[in-house]
Chains A and B, each alone.
Chain A
Amino acid sequence: MNPVQAATGLVFEEPLLWERGREGRTGFSLPRRDVEETPLPEGLAAEPPELPELSEVDLVRHYVRLSQWNVAVDTAMYPLGSCTMKYNPKTNERQAALPGFALAHPLLPESLCQGALELIAALECLLAEITGLDAVTLQPGAGAQGELAGMLIFHAYHRRRGRPRSKILVPDTAHGTNPASAALCGYRAVPVASGGRGILEPPSVAALMDEETAGIMITNPNTLGLFEEHVAEIARIVHEKGGLVYGDGANLNAVLGRVDMGRIGVDVLHLNLHKTFSTPHGGGGPGAGPVCVRRDLEPFLPVPRVVRRGDRFAWSEDFPLSIGKLQAFWGNFGVLVRAYSYIRSMGAAHLEQASRLAVLNANYLRVGLREHYAPAYDRPCMHECVFSDARQRPLGVTTLDIAKRLMDYGFHPPTVYFPLVVPGALMIEPTETESKEMLDLFLAAMAAIAREAQEQPELLRAAPTRCLRRRLDEVGAARKPKLTGLPSSA
């Protein structure tokens, strides 16, 4: 089996937009002017900004060429850990583009947007049933904004009880967004070290939890791909001191239909619809980060909320304890349509099977890789597995070299150097939508790279060689930042 998936074909150099443009061209068919010109108010008009001028042909060729410089889920396996780069179904794009959804104004009278309100209400119910929690807001625009909503709910809850708190426990395996979100509420993040098995140990939580601590943020399964087995006991410890438990649902894809988040003591949980529920990642968004809560925290959810009045749906602001608004309107509705479409296509049985196969795929890679690479924790994993460069470092080869060499074989690299607790981490999440033959090719590529590290390490250090560009100078980019390509008009 030849594990090299990459072929070098003809791709094109492409200049910047303004290098391609010529003054006097246009790519726009201006709607007909059927009203007369009116004089402009004095002293307020200004010259328009210097924008490049391109024909429609220039424009299309420019962006099609740029698109060909990307590797994406639709072109290759993209096992970026904790990002759940699963296949994005095409029918979801069609649904989101329906005129009733795409061309709907957010301030339509309720009588003119019943279908959109019904979709929001229905998706809230589906996510409540999937997580085991009681109430849902769909307003947060991404996972990090969901975390902020969660921390604001913690803050409002403790203030309501008359005892604001100042600290929050955050495990050392957490995403960086966790402490950054908590800091926005004025909470000081107190790190909790994970134990020798890569998971949190109740005694270390008990030692830090006090009545100045608002609660704990737990990603489960965690970023090592391990299930936090003591989560229920940790929740009891936190609850006993009056704290709350935040669940970061970034890795929910492992446990659909299997874990009852309410039962394990999670009070607030965010989901990433662009991970578990297959909405596309868009080169860095837009996503959506719904937040699910247990019943007694429902009054704190963002407003407005969709309520049912008889056979009609309506907006309601009547939640005086609400944390307020996170976005001007109701959240990333276009993303919600896609996630709803996915859940209705899958049903319970296929969602459960998706989790089974995601975990099977990750374990298949884990078993296949440990001959060549050092596992961070050599035991069964959930949706992702973490290895390191511990065996390659003595050869003068690092995780970065391995990642770059994978490109030459035609795979997007895994997440690297995260979680921080594993030096030189390679965090690999295949997702359920990769087939066995693709995983076998990935394993063969990784085995070949391990051999190369021993026999021809310079191949790794020089990689990638098959991409449009060789390694890029990131240090130089940060030292002398060039962030725009034209002098600004300022």
Chain B
Amino acid sequence: MDRGDSSTRFANVVTPHLDDAYGLARWVTGNRADAEDVVQEACLRAFRGIGGFTGGNDRAWVLTIVRNTAYDWLRKNRSPAVVHVDDLEAVERMQLADDAPAGDNPEAALIARADEVRLEAAIASLPVMFRETLVLRDVHGLDYREIATITDVPIGTVMSRLARARRRVIDMLGADR
């Protein structure tokens, strides 16, 4: 495939998903400049690999590359604990808070009042694998199967991460300040 073909395919397959690509990179890296570097690098990888893309779910393909690029970036630029699996297991074992008493549901009221800053801070504080799962689902609106493809885990793991991620955020937002 020559440069011209690649450029055309890139424009059709990758460019429409740049906002999603940037959004995911932003959530994983935690800041704008690094997210832009990640997207740029991911786009370069996508450009080089586009000849091998057989079609199908464009967005999932692009986000998979972005996600892998972002993880390479994390490994390079963050302490290993951030992406290390032990850390993940520690969170997996994390004791979930007791359910709030039935009735007026004060936690829901607090969540409903949480502003953008608190909401973002709560999600940002999640370990990265939980964070990306929640973001892919609730910010980007991807379904479980797509998230499983992008994050390269079984659907059961997606379900478990999503449930825990949401539970953690509810705990944080529902706690009285």
Same complex origin of A and B = no
